[in-house]
């Protein structure tokens, strides 16, 4: 694919990292954020000192305060705005024609539990939509460290268009058409990472973390299959790969939230200390609602949700999980 004009919505750590990845394919990348002061700082400093410091912007990464500064013929868009703001960000793209959107946020629409690709289809009828997921910390992607991700779309040709846009020597992209599975894996793993952080913060050890990761994968697969996903998706990058990374490395904001909750901080204080969007916070409520709707047993999700709502404390939540009645592992 020849170099393209690309607009990235959201200039947090993830949006900036993906913008940097796109520049390595010689694309001209425009980076927008609702926070105009942040954009002004990016233009002045030529790096994102707040979210992903130390990585200079190349000449083909252009922060913009207004969508009007983006060439009107642009067709490729990457949206990293958190799920709760996704719908409100999409009207910005209505002035463009032949819109191709790659969604890079992980979660569900708050209150509706709609998938992100469904939200895009509702707001931008006729657009082509893909989702990007997989084990990928922003700082490492921004620094150009080797990373592998999945891009999924109902139309595999659209997934391949975005794969060609992103794929480089350090950013390897795999494709498939299980857009439901890719989104469920990317969303629910954040809830599991909060649980893993809580367990580690309480000093329960590596055995407990391994159990949480394994049973967390079982919950993800259970919900995914009920909602029409394919089982093999959850053994790939958007499932097991993302789950293991997020549950085991302190670069994960969701895991970090769990660690801070285990220390006794409130959800509000822990969130303020982390200082960036924590997708699992809102996702836990939506996943619990989906579990109820589809009559799926998701005990880890249930306990995390209760902790976040202040119903029980972190230690009680882990004890509840560990003292559940024995059952068949495969049922």
The runs of H, that is alpha helices, within the chain are: 13-23, 36-45, 83-89, 116-123, 138-142, 156-166, 179-201, 206-226, 242-248, 253-262, 267-274, 279-293, 299-308, 314-322
CATH of the domain at 117: 3.40.50.720
The angle subtended at Cα 187 by Cα 186 and Cα 191, nearest 5°, is 115
**Dihedral angle over CA of 214, 217, 219, 222, nearest 10:** -130
Q: Is 217 in the same domain as 285?
A: yes
CA distance 103 to 153: 10
**pLDDT (0 to 100) of residue 1:** 67
Distances from the Cα of 298 to the Cα of 102, 145, 306, 330, angstroms: 29, 35, 12, 14
Structural domain tally of the chain?
2
Nearest to 297 by CA among 221, 186, 210: 221
Of 177, 200, 218, the residue at which a domain comes to its end is 177
Residue 284 sits in the same domain as residue 144:
no
Query: What span, in angstroms and rounded, lies between the C-alpha atoms of 93 and 72?
Result: 10
Q: Say which DSSP state 143 is in.
A: T
Residues 112 and 61 in one domain: yes
45 and 12 in a common domain: yes
pLDDT of residue 187: 98
Torsion of CA 44, 15, 9, 193, to 10 degrees: -140
Coil vs helix vs strand at 48: strand
189 has catalytic annotation: yes
Structure tokens given for 36: 């105009």
In a shared domain, residues 71 and 212? no
Predicted local distance difference test score (pLDDT) of residue 59? 97
Is 293 found in the same domain as 166? no
Are 60 and 83 a contacting pair, CB within 8 Å?
no
pLDDT score of 173: 98
Question: Which structural domain range is residue 200 located in?
Answer: 192-322
Residue 160 and residue 16 in one domain: yes
* Res 2: pLDDT: 77
Q: Which residues of the chain have pLDDT under 50?
A: none
pLDDT number for residue 330: 81
Domain boundary among 120, 154, 177: 177
- Kindly state whether residues 164 and 63 are assigned to the same domain: yes
What pLDDT shows up at residue 324? 87
What's the CA dihedral at 112, 103, 120, 233 to 10 degrees?
-70
Query: Are residues 109 and 164 located together in one domain of the fold?
Result: yes
Q: Using one digit for the tens of pLDDT, what is the confidence trace for 265-322?
A: 999 999 999 999 899 999 999 999 999 999 999 999 999 999 999 999 999 998 888 7
Of the candidates 189, 273, 292, 315, the residue annotated as catalytic is 189
| Overall residue count recorded for the chain in this entry | 331
Q: Is 154 in the same domain as 9?
A: yes
| 53 in the same domain as 136 | yes
- Contact (CB, 8 A) for 165 and 6: yes
pLDDT at 331: 67
């Amino acid at each position: 694919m020849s170099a393209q004009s690309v607009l990235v919505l959201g200039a947090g750590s993830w949006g900036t990292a993906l913008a940097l990845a796109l520049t390595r394919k010689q694309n001209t990348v425009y980076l927008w954020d609702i926070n105009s002061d942040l954009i002004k700082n990016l233009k002045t400093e030529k790096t994102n000192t707040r979210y992903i410091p130390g990585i200079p912007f190349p000449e083909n990464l252009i922060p913009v305060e207004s969508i009007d500064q983006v060439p009107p013929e642009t067709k490729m868009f990457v949206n990293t705005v958190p799920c709760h703001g996704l719908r409100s960000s999409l009207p910005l793209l209505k002035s463009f024609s032949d819109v191709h959107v790659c969604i890079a946020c992980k979660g569900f629409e708050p209150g509706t539990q709609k998938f992100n690709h469904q939200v895009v289809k509702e707001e931008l009828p006729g657009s082509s939509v893909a989702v990007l997921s997989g084990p990928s910390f922003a700082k490492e992607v921004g620094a150009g460290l080797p990373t592998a991700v999945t891009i999924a779309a109902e139309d595999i040709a659209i997934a391949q268009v975005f794969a060609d846009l992103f794929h480089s020597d350090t950013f390897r992209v795999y494709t498939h058409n299980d857009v439901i599975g890719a989104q469920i894996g990317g969303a629910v793993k954040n809830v599991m990472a909060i649980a893993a952080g809580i367990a580690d913060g309480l000093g329960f050890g590596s055995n407990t973390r391994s159990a949480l990761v394994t049973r967390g994968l079982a919950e993800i697969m259970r919900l995914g299959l009920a909602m029409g996903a394919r089982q093999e998706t959850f053994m790939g990058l958007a499932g097991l790969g993302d789950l293991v990374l997020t549950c085991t490395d302190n670069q994960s904001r969701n895991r970090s939230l769990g660690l801070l909750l285990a220390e006794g901080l409130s959800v509000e204080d822990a969130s303020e200390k982390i200082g960036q969007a924590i997708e699992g916070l809102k996702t836990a409520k939506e996943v619990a609602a989906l579990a109820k709707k589809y009559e799926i047993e998701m005990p880890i999700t249930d306990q995390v949700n209760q902790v976040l709502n202040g119903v029980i404390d972190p230690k009680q939540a882990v004890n509840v999980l560990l003292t559940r009645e024995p059952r068949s592992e495969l049922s």
